[in-house]
Amino acid sequence: MISLDFLDNVEAFNGLDDNQLAVIVEAAELMEFKKGDRLFTQGDDATNLWILMDGDIELRSETADPEQVSFLSSAHAFGWTCFVPPYKYQLSGYCASRRSRVIRIEKTKMDKLFPEHPEIGFALMQYTLHAVGTQFQELEDELAQHRGHDIMSHW
Amino acid sequence: MSDQAKEILARTDAFRPLNEDERAAIADLSVIHEFSNGDRLFKDGEPAKYMWVISEGTIDLRFELPGRKTSEENTISTLSDNQIIGWSSLIPPYQYKLSAYCVSKKCLAMKINAEQLLDYLRQNPGLGYRVLAAMIRVVGKRFQQLQISAGQAPIAGAKVTVHMGTCGITAGARAVMTALTEEMARTTRQNIQVLTGGCIGRCPTEPNVTVAIEGEDPVVYQFMDAEKMRRVFKKHVIWGEVQAEFTSRREQS
């Protein structure tokens, strides 16, 4: 069962009241995975937003060499690329503990509830803008460092 | 607020979903500024108080290097009419990550007070949802473009061929090769091959240089000299940006 107390701690739902969180509970589905199960695959259409309830989930690049892996903590929302062009998962998600419980919310369901509950849409868009914006800035930083190094070495 | 501000918002993807009244409300949070070539709109590291919409002209987003003036070499992105910049003002830590410079003769840009904008969107969550969703689409596409250009440039291997037939040498290909060799000596990149080639049947445009980036069509540069070669090396070979003004029309079509 998904509790309002748990959703209240999810950053993506920051600022939402109990009534709005209850709407999310209605749209959400609690799923259980065992170690090694794949939740989604890098490059697939991103059709769901996911929130880790308990256990461990790792996000892994199938193409990076050396392999890049990041582990998520409880109440972390992932799969926010369902709101960002080109609407594909950038990484694959795997269950990395004996058992993990994960909340799944279909994007199509969210799209339907946003007009009636715009506060939920606004909270999620703020979270997503922050998430994609931070990644964008990290890439800009990386590019600036590379180019800066190149300019200084040519100087 | 002026009709001009509302018109600018109407042309901008992130604000296009708004109706007339909503645009008027956001226009009230905005001020239009004019800049000349070389003027800086904001500097990296400064508190990001404003989001900007470019109404006219071209703006480079550049990183700064201590003790040095910025130039085209420092440019990470170039943006023009109806695009937004300074969206760092909408996300923590609310600090500009790059500097913005006007690089056209004149730039017209509208700055929107970001704190007031966020408050307004929060008070009107339906509108806030639509504006932020549209903004995410804009930022997402730009992020994707930057990922592609960044991914191509530093990773892909490159072959640079200086065509040194008799016609090429007569036209100055040796000086081009010398410049290329000097650039190669300075780079740390390992996956660039420098080759000499024969005449490719384009004697009137010698010295010709072909740059072939892995996975892309080769580009033939014409009327090359040492200075052009250095620029092609830094921009195209290293960063994947074709220098169209030096290419033959055949490759552009």
* Interval B64-91: pLDDT, tens: 988 888 888 888 888 888 899 999 999 9
Q: b/e for A125-137, b at 16 or more Cβ within 10 A?
A: bbbbbbbbbebbb
The amino acid occupying position A94 is Y
Q: Please report which helix (H) or strand (E) contains residue B176, including its range.
A: helix B173-186
Q: Is B92 exposed, middle or buried (0-12, 13-18, 19+ CB in 10 A)?
A: exposed
Q: Give the Cα separation of B163 and B10 in Å (integer).
A: 51
Q: Which of A15-29, A138-152, B95-109 has the lowest mean pLDDT?
A: A138-152
CB contact under 8 A, A146 and B154: yes
Residue B124's alpha-carbon distances to A32, A42, A127, B13, B88, in angstroms, are 37, 36, 17, 19, 21
Chain B partners of A122 at a C-beta cutoff of 8 Å?
A: 121-122, 125, 128-129, 132
Reference A2, options A75, A111, A89; nearest CA is A75
Residue B252, pLDDT > 50, answer: no
Distance from CA of B177 to the nearest CA of A (A): 17
The angle formed by the CA atoms of residues B197, B200 and B202, to the nearest 5 degrees, is: 130
Residue A68 contacts B where some CB pair is shorter than 8 Å = no
Question: By the 8 A CB rule, do A31 and A3 touch?
Answer: no
Name the residue facing A136 among B129, B133, B139 (closest C-beta): B139
Residue A58: pLDDT band (50, 70, 90) is very high
Chain A residues within 8 A of B125 when measuring between CB atoms: 118-119, 121-122
Closest Cβ–Cβ partner in B98, B136, B154 for A129:
B136
Least confidently predicted of A60-74, B19-33, B46-60, B136-150: A60-74
Buried/exposed B204-220: b ≥16 CB within 10 Å, e otherwise: ebbbbbbbbbeeeeebb
> How many angstroms separate the CA of residue B168 from the nearest CA in chain A?
27
pLDDT digits (tens, 9 = 90+) for B174-211: 999 999 998 887 765 667 889 999 999 999 999 999 99
Mean pLDDT along residues A46-50: 97
What pTM, to 2 d.p., does this model score? 0.74
More confident residue, A30 or B79: A30
Q: Which residues of B touch A141 (CB under 8 A)?
A: 97
Position with higher pLDDT, B106 vs B253: B106
pLDDT tens for each residue of B144-155 = 878 777 764 444
